[in-house]
Amino acid sequence: MLYTLLCYNKEDVVWSWSKEEDDAVMARLAVVHEKLVKEGKLGPSLRLLPTTAATTVRGPGLVIDGPFAETKEQLLGFYVIDVPDLEGALDVARQLSDANPTSTYEIRPIALYVPEARPNAPREVVKAY
């Protein structure tokens, strides 16, 4: 089974941590990450920049500032894409939105990205049902 673990916290608190506080948390997490790598359990992981840096594409052509924050819909998954700037990201989001018009795509720049760390990780996992 593959699971996605989504980390939630109050971002106004977390992004006010001093460098020392942030470093201390990241150091504690690094210990856990290392353990998970040894156990062959860790896939790609990343930390998002705050929602103030987010842009949302909703339906065809509608680009809005900020995150998608309605509680009626939940985060279903995420892509990691490599594009030069916001326009590039919007272009990809529009293509996805065209293909899947009822979904909403929030674009959040990534603060930290740790690529796949499992040895012999499969290139693609097809859903099992």
Partner 1 sequence: MTDMAWIHGAITAARPQAVGALLRYFRDMDRAEEAFQEASLRALKNWPQNGPPRDPTNWLILVGRNAALDGVRKDARNGPLPPDDVISDLDDVETPLAERLDDSQYRDDVLRLLFICCHPDLPATQQIALALRIVSGLTVAQIARAFLVSEAAMEQRITRAKQRIARAEVPFEAPGPADRAERLGVVAAMLYLLFNEGYSAGDDPVRAPLCDEAIRLARMLLRLFQTEPEIMGLAALMLLQQARLAARFDVDGEAVLLDDQDRSLWNASAIQEGLALVDKALRHNRPGPYQVQAAIAATHARAATAADTDWAGIDGLYLALERMQPSPVITLNRAVAVAKLHGPQAALDMIAPLEAQLGRYFPYFGARGAFLLQLGRNIEARTAFDRAIALADTPAQAAHIRQHLDRLLQDAG
> Interface with partner 1 by CB under 8 A: which residues?
10, 12-18, 21, 49-53, 55, 63-66, 85-87, 109-112
Whose Cβ is closer to partner 1: residue 40's or residue 88's? 88
Provide the residue count of the chain. 129
Name which of 20 and 124 has its Cβ closer to partner 1.
20
Shorter beta-carbon distance to partner 1: residue 16 or 95: 16
Neighbour count for residue 97 (Cβ, 10 Å): 20
- Cβ 111 to partner 1, closest distance in Å? 5
* Rounded least distance, CB 30 to partner 1, Å: 16
We find the least distance from the C-beta atom of residue 25 to partner 1, in angstroms, to be 10
> Closer to partner 1 at the Cβ: 15 or 36?
15
Structure tokens at 72: 């009626």
Spatial separation of the C-alpha atoms in residues 3 and 52, rounded to whole Å? 27
Q: Are 55 and 65 in contact (CB under 8 A)?
A: yes
Closest CA to 45 of 108, 112, 104, 125: 112
Q: CB of 22: closest distance to partner 1 in angstroms?
A: 10
- Please name the residues in contact with 11: beta carbons below 8 A apart, sequence gap of 6 or more: 50, 51
